[in-house]
Structure 1
């Protein structure tokens, strides 16, 4: 790799921000945009450096309750150094993408490619979680599972917007390849990066569309499961109520035909059981 230094700033404090603005001449607005999760990807040409803001998945935490978020990162390419701004401490140079780099622009491109690969990894996880939740919703009436599904749908919307924003950034890198001084190998890598990001975008859109189309169906399944439960409970209540009425009628403190019959208890019990059996047979015959 050609000589050059790589400086990484993770969630810089005020002193480090002043250093970046005063010494490295980084635009203050661009610096803050690099740490803003709602900022769109973009490329800017400054007098002494190139400024890039790109989107990447935020590290997932169990506290997020299946909500996958995105964050922004800043890359500032100088003649002899590359400054990286991150909002959180994450592994940057892991993976085979960094097994062989030739220059600072090459490192910059591979960092953007690493974010695409990171998005793909999260999409696989989201798809697995979606399949698991769908199977649970089919057998459950708990709204919690359905809310988790809505949360994953919200995450996919964030991912589609972020990946699409990165697509525009990669296109600008390709169109300005000559101005940026990319080598033929780096231009070829940009082409590969564009293809990978496009495939990632299409995959995210497919997952998002499928999940959105299934939302109403899954909500209907939960409602149908609840209706089936209420129907079963009503049948059980009716089966219990009829023999209860029979027993209550013969328990009134008034004369009745079985008052002096020594077998009255068994007759009443048999009549109650017969009424219960009659209701069960009617239920089966009418297929309630």
Structure 2
């Protein structure tokens, strides 16, 4: 899907492919080959730049070629209640246009809508790039807070139920934190490189940084570092929580097996006594209240055994 927009800090309006204006934003979501070739022909952007973000395993990086700069950043994606992932987002800056390429519609680019048109301008390509990166960093922080709250909820459920379902949900959250860790670290490298590019004079036609832009980029770097610290802390907490509850479940299983073994012993005693006394041979008390004596002896022996097992902590 190809959408073309242009904004001027007051309104965001959509353009047709036949009437492209300078400062336009080409937004490609899961594009096909025809759309990629059309955008490449119109903007002059290298086709391999446009295809770079269509690989789900692509890592964050920057690349320069002639008058075009490619920035690939990994953005957070929420795929389910407990399922989180990271997806590459390609941002291509040319002297006249800015292009974004992603495999899926995402919440980061969804923030740049007509309702928020006063907060950004596609004509200010450098600031628009930093605003996209800033939205991505804030979304990481928001998802991390959601993961933390969800972990607390699952912990309360595990204390009461100890079912495998909660363990699997914790595993999904831990997997999402692993993806976030790798993505945030690679994003941090890209941000530091962008900060160094401000001193290169041969890139002034692509990246023109004013004081506000530098402040915004520094804010993005700070938010990204904060997200890295949070994801590392939550990963350690979640890993410790899973180990703890795995041990608790194993201990509960041992207690159940110990209880069943004790009950087996207690049931075996009256069974054994009644089997001896029920043999078809002469036995004591066979004539005078033999059944009452046998049941009394079995009951007394069972109670005595149960007391001994209780003293040893078998119940």
Report the TM range for the smaller structure's normalisation.
0.7 to 0.9
Match of 1:78 among 85, 94, 99: 94
Per the alignment, residue 283 of structure 1 pairs with 309
1:1-288 superposed matches below 5 A: 1=8, 4-61=23-80, 66-91=82-107, 92-94=109-111, 100-102=119-121, 103-137=124-158, 142-178=163-199, 179=204, 180-261=207-288, 263-288=289-314
Q: Normalised by the size of structure 1, how large is the TM-score?
A: 0.87
Contact 1:7 1:82 in 2 (8 A): yes
- Of 154-163 and 75-84, the range deviating more from structure 2: 75-84
Contact 1:137 1:222 in 2 (8 A): no
3-state SS of 1:259 partner? coil
- Of 131-140 and 215-224, the range deviating more from structure 2: 131-140
* Distance in 1 (alpha carbons) for counterparts of 2:280 and 2:50: 90
In the TM superposition, residue 78 of structure 1 has moved relative to its aligned partner by 2.7
- Of 129-138 and 201-210, the range deviating more from structure 2: 129-138
In the TM superposition, residue 171 of structure 1 has moved relative to its aligned partner by 1.0
In the TM superposition, residue 35 of structure 1 has moved relative to its aligned partner by 1.8
* Distance in 1 (alpha carbons) for counterparts of 2:208 and 2:275: 96
In the TM superposition, residue 33 of structure 1 has moved relative to its aligned partner by 2.0
In the TM superposition, residue 187 of structure 1 has moved relative to its aligned partner by 0.8
* Distance in 1 (alpha carbons) for counterparts of 2:78 and 2:67: 32
* Total equivalences in the alignment: 284
CA RMSD of aligned residues (A): 2.5
3-state SS of 1:208 partner? helix
Gaps of 5+ in 2: 1-7, 10-21
- Of 87-96 and 229-238, the range deviating more from structure 2: 87-96
Contact 2:74 2:86 in 1 (8 A): yes
Evaluate the alpha carbon distance shift between residue 287 and residue 213 of structure 1 in structure 2; reply closer, same or farther with a 3 A threshold: closer
Q: Normalised by the size of structure 2, how large is the TM-score?
A: 0.81
Gaps of 5+ in 1: none
Evaluate the alpha carbon distance shift between residue 285 and residue 97 of structure 1 in structure 2; reply closer, same or farther with a 3 A threshold: farther
